[in-house]
Amino acid sequence: MDNVLAPYLLATDDRERRQQLDELLTLRAAPLIRSVLLRRLGFYVSASGANENNQDAEDLYQEAMTRLVTGLNQLQSSADSDIENFELYVSRIAANTCTDFLRAKSPARTRLKYRLRDLLKRHKDFSSWDYDGEQLCGFADWRNRGKAAFAGEFFSDLKTELDSFESLHFADENVRVAPVSRIVSEIFHWIGGPVELDLLVRMIAYLLDVKDQQTDALGDPDAERRDGYFPAQAPSGELHLEANELLARLWRAVIQLSAEQRDAFAFGFEDQAGQDLFTLLLAAEIASWDELAHGMGRPVQELVRLRLRMPMDSGCVADELKASRQNVHKWRFRAIRRLKILLT
């Protein structure tokens, strides 16, 4: 048990218990919750828990406080306390409150965060880890290091910094069509040290222009999907059909490419939501697994394995095709040039 909890847990009457709880909340918990809200969401809350210009900030502050009080009350009635670090306990409650808020208000960004978590887990060059109550990420050989010293302050003007990053690292190409793994790698090189996962999500979301439709405008809360998010857009049936038609045309064109061009393009393909080509084709029922196998000239079992690695960056494609990165770039360039002709 963290010693700071002892006066509260050992209080002998209600008056003393309330006094100790007020001190815990006011002196120790409130500053931590305010800090987490600011760091995770950019929400400012005053020392009194107010923000007259942002009702969401006030609501989240109160929600985190309510969750904390509920947890402490449960501990008070229990014989043992398993809270070894009170500050970490409070920070996790505040972080979970922010996460729940983002899931409801920012579904597209939440999907992006899950996408990045998966990338950090499966990519051999990347990693993520907990450090002093924060979830950090970076290159694998940075693991268990604290975040870069400037990571919090340096990005106070995030948009300006990222505009500079884009012009420096993606001067001759559209960053929105680049593989996310490559963007992440460039960001890590740029920062030069571990960074909070939430900050990485904010950066990638800005670069890829990942935006959410305001949930208030959707009206009917029953429209929420089973997986817990609202669609970023609500396209009409006509637009949906047009998108599927374009995807079907793309697939027919891809399988007309040479094997090297086809593989280099397909393995690295990624839409703005981070979905790989096989997932899109299967979800839209444009191609079955057998049809994918026929079109890609590989057995189904091989495609299932490949799908788990897709979308791949150039290095992964090179490893898969046992070719040089230079050849992969050449094949992909020629594939895109050929596809533009076939799709016009």
Helices 259-268/289-296 angle, 10° precision: 130
Residue 219 counted as domain residue: no
- Residue 97 sits in the same domain as residue 86: yes
Stretch (H or E) spanning 94: helix 86-105
pLDDT of residue 268: 87
The answer as to whether 279 is a domain residue is yes
197 and 259 co-located in one domain:
no
Question: Tokens standing for 66?
Answer: 């309510």
Please check whether residues 141 and 52 belong to one and the same domain: no
Contact 261, 296 (CB under 8 A): no
Query: What's the pTM value of the predicted model, to 2 decimals?
Result: 0.41
Single residue among 105, 135, 162 that ends a domain in this structure: 105
From residue 124, alpha-carbon distances to 118, 262, 294, 311 in Å are 12, 24, 30, 14
What residues make up the domain containing 185?
A: 108-208
Say if 223 falls within a structural domain: no
Residue 93 contacts by C-beta under 8 Å, 6 or more apart in sequence? 33, 64, 67, 68, 71
Assigned domain for 48 exists: yes
Distance CA 77, CA 340 (A): 68
Q: Are residues 98 and 69 in the same domain?
A: yes
* Boundary of a domain, candidates 82, 105, 128: 105
Listed residues 105, 135, 152: the one ending a domain: 105
Is residue 307 in a domain?
Answer: yes
Query: Measured in whole angstroms, how far is the alpha carbon of residue 120 from the centre of its chain?
Result: 10
Rounded to a whole number of angstroms, the distance between the first and last alpha carbons of the chain is 68
Nearest in space to 313 (alpha carbons), one of 62, 144, 122, 97? 122
Q: Are residues 36 and 115 in the same domain?
A: no
Q: Is 28 a domain residue?
A: yes
Q: Are residues 194 and 144 in the same domain?
A: yes
**Overall number of domains in the chain:** 3
Q: ∠268-274-275 over CA atoms, to 5°?
A: 75
Over its length of 344 residues, how does the chain's per-residue pLDDT go in tens digits?
A: 778 888 888 888 888 888 888 888 888 898 889 988 887 788 888 878 888 888 888 989 999 999 898 888 887 766 556 788 888 889 889 988 988 887 777 677 777 888 898 889 889 999 999 887 778 999 999 998 887 755 544 445 677 888 888 888 888 888 888 888 999 999 999 988 999 888 898 889 889 888 764 433 222 323 232 222 223 333 334 444 566 788 888 999 999 999 999 999 999 887 765 678 888 888 788 888 889 999 999 998 888 888 878 888 888 888 889 999 888 888 988 999 899 888 87
Contact 142, 127 (CB under 8 A): yes
Clarify whether residues 257 and 295 are in a common domain. Answer: yes
In a domain, 228, yes or no: no
